Structure 1
Amino acid sequence: MKHLLPGVLILLSFSTLKAQDQTPDSTGLPGDNFSLQGALELFKKAGSPEEFEKLLNTEDSKVNNLDLNEDGNTDYIKVVSKRENDVQIFVLQALVSEKESQDVAVIELEKTGKENAVIDIVGDEDIFGEETIVEPGDSQDNAFNEGFSSLAGGPNMEIASMASPAGIVVNVWAWPCVRFVYAPSYALWVSPFSWRARPVWYRPWRPLAWHVYRPYRYHYRPRYAVVTTRRVVVAPRIYRPMRVTSVTVTKRHHVAVNNYRVTRKTTTVRTHRGRTISRTHTTVRRRRR
């Protein structure tokens, strides 16, 4: 018995850690390890797309915890941008290998007036199971009221009063990065980094276990809202032709993604004759187009 005790303790410890990694709010999808809310927070904090890319790939930010190629280190997230008139998109793309990349999310930004802009971020369906749309909430933390305009930042009550079904629209014009990319002198950001050419400041780190990463991920949630409608309606047309997916990532996670998209609930009912019958109800999450 004395010899069995250490082995039993090890098994119990392993079971406890495994249970912690499979907490109910974990979907088991790669998207568990990336905070869409945190990415928007970093975009708000950054002064330019270049700085935004650096913040995404800084360990202290605790936004990116992805290891899609399972090499034991977090993946470098590259920012790919495109512009069409007053709409700009910023694709957050993970470098999986020398030949493969995988889109994680896309930030959609539109200038809607002289001092007005709206923004959202959409998580990729292969990472989050379905397209997940997040936008700034009406928190005071999202306001940058600097005095030069009544609509400098924060909730735009003029637009909200137009009975928008999606609720309050947050004007992000005063976010430093937003004004930077709409400045007349701005040249479209083209990241010079790749699988082999990493920035000198970049230091990859070991991804955290879910029960450790979860508090950091949820730290960003109160200031942002998950919604079902895009703010920038033309963004999908701009983004769709340039979307990048990885065969490696798709194969590795297709079971978990498909299980997430199709959920089955079995209930047992009793007939008037006393017999029990099991009925299965299948719900399929529709993929947005």
Structure 2
Amino acid sequence: MRKIILSLFTVFSLNFLLAQEENTTENIGDNFSLEGALAMFKSANTLEEFEKAINEENNSINNLDLNDDGSIDYIMVDDIKEGDTHVLVLSTYLNEKEKQDIATIGIEKTGNESAQLQIIGDEDLYGKDVFVEPVDLVEAVKEGKGPSIPEFETKPMLVNVWLWPCVRFIYAPTYIVWRSPYRWGYYPRGWKPWKPIKVIVFKTRCATHRTFYHRTPNHRIVLARKIYTPRRNHGTIVVKNRRGTTVVHKNRRGKTTVIKTRTRGRR
């Protein structure tokens, strides 16, 4: 009887740990789809539409609860413009005073009718140097030696985003730099936060976006980072991952203070 009880307890414990593993992640940024954000940006006509789209529950872009209050955080969009470079900052308020950046979309005009962009996840949430960009997949002849039947391979090709409606919008002569009108406790009429879902379910829902938007080790929008870096927002973040739960605070000088750490399996 004791062996049966012990076996049942072991099975229950393993199932519990597996369930916990499914709902944890190496980086808390896995709860916000960078690829999905670019998909919403491509289809939006204005930055106001873009902000609305990434905060729409049915679009499965946002599953963040950085202040750990049990409700999804509202993501705001603000534009920083210098010359022909735009930096769209996606951020959220953790409380009345603290603001945390989620990601930035750097856009640079490269010609009269050409522009390129990348979205970069904030290193507090995603780790260092996480870049995502739109790509087209094209077939090219695979190089070989000697005469033979040509073989084809699929290669990614960078996308000229000039014809995206929102890109044309921000480069229009009449464009007024966009600043989100919302803040802590003041949100769009009709918007209601929802409860976060399991990470594995969220990642499945937004997986389709990864077909047209790929992660890359190459940082192409260099000027955008120089413009943005001195204006980056840091806050108190509740980090939940496979290593445990940590509350981290960073001040504007970059100093990091660990306020509380709880290792998994301990109380």
Aligned residue number for residue 167 of structure 2:
178
- Unaligned 5+ segments in structure 2 are 139-154, 240-245, 250-255, 257-267
1:12 and 1:228 map into 2 onto residues whose CA distance is 37
> For the Cα contact (< 8 Å) 2:94–2:236, is it kept in 1?
no
1:168 is paired with a residue of what secondary structure?
A: strand
> For the Cα contact (< 8 Å) 1:34–1:217, is it kept in 2?
no
1:14 is paired with a residue of what secondary structure?
A: helix
State which drifts further: 107-116 or 243-252: 243-252
1:126 is paired with a residue of what secondary structure?
A: helix
> For the Cα contact (< 8 Å) 2:137–2:157, is it kept in 1?
no
Structure 1 residues 199, 16: closer, same or farther in 2, change over 3 A?
A: same
State which drifts further: 167-176 or 10-19: 10-19
Structure 1 residues 18, 224: closer, same or farther in 2, change over 3 A?
A: same
Q: Offset at 1:203?
A: 1.3
Q: Offset at 1:167?
A: 6.9
1:95-244 equivalent positions in 2, closer than 5 A: 95-139=93-137, 168-244=157-233
Q: Offset at 1:226?
A: 1.2
2:20 and 2:238 map into 1 onto residues whose CA distance is 23
2:95 and 2:182 map into 1 onto residues whose CA distance is 13
> For the Cα contact (< 8 Å) 2:104–2:119, is it kept in 1?
yes
> For the Cα contact (< 8 Å) 1:74–1:206, is it kept in 2?
yes
1:19-38 equivalent positions in 2, closer than 5 A: 19-22=21-24, 26-27=25-26, 29-38=27-36
Q: Offset at 1:174?
A: 0.9
Structure 1 residues 211, 240: closer, same or farther in 2, change over 3 A?
A: same
Q: Counterpart of 1:175 in structure 2: which amino acid?
A: W
1:225 is paired with a residue of what secondary structure?
A: strand
> For the Cα contact (< 8 Å) 1:73–1:207, is it kept in 2?
yes
1:73 is paired with a residue of what secondary structure?
A: coil
> For the Cα contact (< 8 Å) 1:102–1:249, is it kept in 2?
no
Aligned residue number for residue 281 of structure 1:
none
Aligned equivalent of 1:252, options 247, 253, 265: 247
Q: Counterpart of 1:18 in structure 2: which amino acid?
A: Q
Q: Offset at 1:114?
A: 1.5
> For the Cα contact (< 8 Å) 2:135–2:156, is it kept in 1?
no
2:247 is paired with a residue of what secondary structure?
A: helix
Q: Offset at 1:253?
A: 5.3
1:15 aligns with 2:17: yes
Aligned residue number for residue 42 of structure 2:
44
Q: How many corresponding residue pairs?
A: 224
Q: Offset at 1:11?
A: 4.9
Aligned residue number for residue 80 of structure 2:
82
Q: Offset at 1:230?
A: 2.2
Aligned residue number for residue 147 of structure 2:
none
1:11 and 1:116 map into 2 onto residues whose CA distance is 56
Structure 1 residues 126, 14: closer, same or farther in 2, change over 3 A?
A: same
Q: Offset at 1:12?
A: 5.8
**TM superposition score normalised by structure 2:** 0.77
Q: Offset at 1:131?
A: 2.5
2:19 and 2:194 map into 1 onto residues whose CA distance is 21
State which drifts further: 48-57 or 244-253: 244-253
Root-mean-square deviation (Å)? 2.5
2:176 and 2:194 map into 1 onto residues whose CA distance is 31
- Unaligned 5+ segments in structure 1 are 141-165, 259-289
> For the Cα contact (< 8 Å) 1:90–1:108, is it kept in 2?
yes
1:228 and 1:212 map into 2 onto residues whose CA distance is 27
1:46 and 1:190 map into 2 onto residues whose CA distance is 16
Of Structure 1 and Structure 2, the greater helix share is in 1
Q: Deviations over 1:230-281 (max 9, x none)?
A: 2222111100111001034476258xxx9xxxxxxxxxxxxxxxxxxxxxxx
**TM superposition score normalised by structure 1:** 0.71
Aligned equivalent of 1:66, options 64, 71, 83: 64
